Amino acid sequence: MPTLTKLYTMEEASQHNTKDDCWVVIDGKVYDVTPYLDEHPGGDDVVLAATDDFEDAGHSKSAKELMQNFYIGELDTSAPIIPELEIASKKETANYSRNLMDLTKQYWAVPVAIVGISVVAGFIYLRKK
């Protein structure tokens, strides 16, 4: 028989961002890690200022098992995500770099045209002397 899970929006989760009331969202699941902040090996500052993915931090299997003690519900994926809370990831940085390269490739003609016109103008100027 399925169990009922409480759903939280990202807006709700984002309001719990202090040492006295700290929630984290990992893989669509919401955890209230407030009681664990003082025990966290990296300190509470690491959790409060976390911008990296949980997996990237190198957590052990026992840490992942311990996380289940703090599980309070799931992220409501039907609710809109708050743009201010979208955290840049390594994938987005790669996309930004790729987009910049694409723009550079698209607009290469402008600087080439400027250089070409300058070279032609220079030759014309020198021939008239």
Express each pLDDT in 10-53 by its tens digit.
888 888 878 888 888 888 888 888 887 777 766 656 666 665 56
Q: Give me the phi and psi of 60, to 5 degrees please.
A: -80, 170
Q: What is the CA radius of gyration of the chain?
A: 26
Beta strands in 15-88 (DSSP E): 17-18, 21-26, 29-32, 71-75
pLDDT score recorded for residue 20:
87
> How would residue 101 be classed by pLDDT, with cut points 50, 70 and 90?
confident
Tell me the average pLDDT across 86-93: 53
Element (H or E) spanning 8, and its range? Answer: strand 7-8
> How would residue 124 be classed by pLDDT, with cut points 50, 70 and 90?
very high
pLDDT score recorded for residue 119:
94
Tell me the average pLDDT across 86-108: 66
